[in-house]
Amino acid sequence: MASDAPATLPVQLAEQPRLLKLKKMFISKFGSAPKFYARAPGRVNLIGEHIDYCGYAVLPMAIEQDILIAVEPVKTQVVQLANTNPLYLDFSTSVNNIHVNKTKPVWHNYFLCGLKGVQEHFGLNSSTGMNCLLDGTIPPSSGLSSSSALVCCAGLVMLTANGKTLSKVELAEICTKSERYIGTEGGGMDQSISFLAEEGTAKLIEFSPLRATDVRLPSGAAFVIANSCVEMNKAATSHFNIRVMECRLATKLLSKSKGLEWEKMLKLQDVQAKLGVSLKKMLTIVEEVFHPEPYSVEEICTCLGISLEELRTQILSQNTQDVTTFKLYQRAKHVYSEAARVLEFKTICSEAPASAIQLLGELMNQSHISCRDMYECSCPELDQLVDICLQFGAIGSRLTGAGWGGCTVSMVPSDKLSTFLTNVKEAYYKSNDQRLALEKNSLFATKPGGGALVFLEA
């Protein structure tokens, strides 16, 4: 249940080779044994891209790949953090003086976001120090939410080490807010699925209030993740934050055109809710209100009846101050059409018609086209990979995650899975040495996995 706290499971380490290996590494690093282990999974979003921060429901599932942290609370008020991967350097800081450096999306800053979020929620003035060793199996910057899983896992670590409890929903909301310390204006999907996931089912995740509904995926189809091997670090780029702002500006202009209190409106879903109309009707309104050409900041000011100074200080975020044009028509059209596709996907899964796999595949394909053409968050490699997946038997294929690199997700009939994997490997990975080196962790079928939890040695 979403109202429950994350589970705490006693485990026999002898039966858990990864935990046992992590314990041995921890002892060799810190000279003592961990007291507990926290785990938070990555996720793949099946449909509903770039709409969570607009207030709309999304449809992800947790994957088996995760962030696992071994933890020993200590008497000193110092957090020592190490990683099993030598590419990620050790880090230590005072637990009561946590500073997240926004200018550098270094791995430990995501960890600090999780600590700080829980610390501030409880107003902890003297948190316990910790030795932590992290092991991650989610490919970084791949659109499978490695950074949010790290924030969530760190939040769970801080909570457990300090003897506090929170529900999964509360933790998801705290971790969503705290990731903003690093400058990522995400909408909450990644943190929500990391905590609310359950084995064997995808989830429709809705916001305000946060809730999750089981979505049973059709039998007879496998979901395959394929990494384009183009890394995208969303906090280090302005693309993501510009899209967030374009949606906010589209919200303001739509509200103004309909005589709503535009100053108070922040999300595209707010406009639909206030007007009380369908998503289909919102798409008609978008066609009526916006022109397809980009809007200059001057035109936006004229439409809203405000000065450039007011736009910059009251609406634009710090990292979009220098943007001179915004595409409002395309972004709003994507959001409202994608929100409708999510609901349709859920309905097809619930009703399970004979043609379910075909219908779901078509929705995934439409989603990719909209991400590519309207939201412009794809890249040539992702488009090539989607084409290859469709060519070799996928019924639907689309980018997943923020885009601009990262992964695709494809729905493949189960009886075609092994030839599909062989052919995609040949066509996309073997043609390029860099991709071939990464291929082992880049192409795999996945099932819906469970959410964040704590392991204790039995």
Note the Cα 72 to chain centre separation in Å: 28
**135 tagged catalytic:** no
- DSSP annotation of 258 reads T
- How far apart are the C-alpha atoms of 42 and 24, rounded to whole Å? 25
Catalytic, out of 52, 66, 135, 190: 190
- Residue 381 CA: distances (Å) to CA of 14, 364, 386, 394, 410: 42, 18, 9, 17, 15
- Which helix (H) or strand (E) is 79 found in, with range? strand 78-83
Looking at residue 151, its amino acid is: V
Residues in the chain: 458
The token pair at 119 is: 């610390």
Measured between its terminal Cα atoms, the distance across the chain in Å is 24
Question: H or E segment at 144?
Answer: none
Residue 402 DSSP symbol: S
**Burial label, 29 (beta-carbon count in 10 A; 0-12, 13-18, 19+):** middle
Please tell me the distance from the alpha carbon of residue 62 to that of residue 145, in angstroms, as a whole number.
Answer: 10
Q: How far, in Å, CA of 371 to CA of 364, rounded?
A: 11
| Nearest partner of 235 among 291, 272, 181, judged by Cα | 181
**How many CB atoms lie under 10 A from the CB of residue 425?**
17
Pairing of strands 453-457, 8-11: parallel
Q: Which residues are catalytic?
A: 190
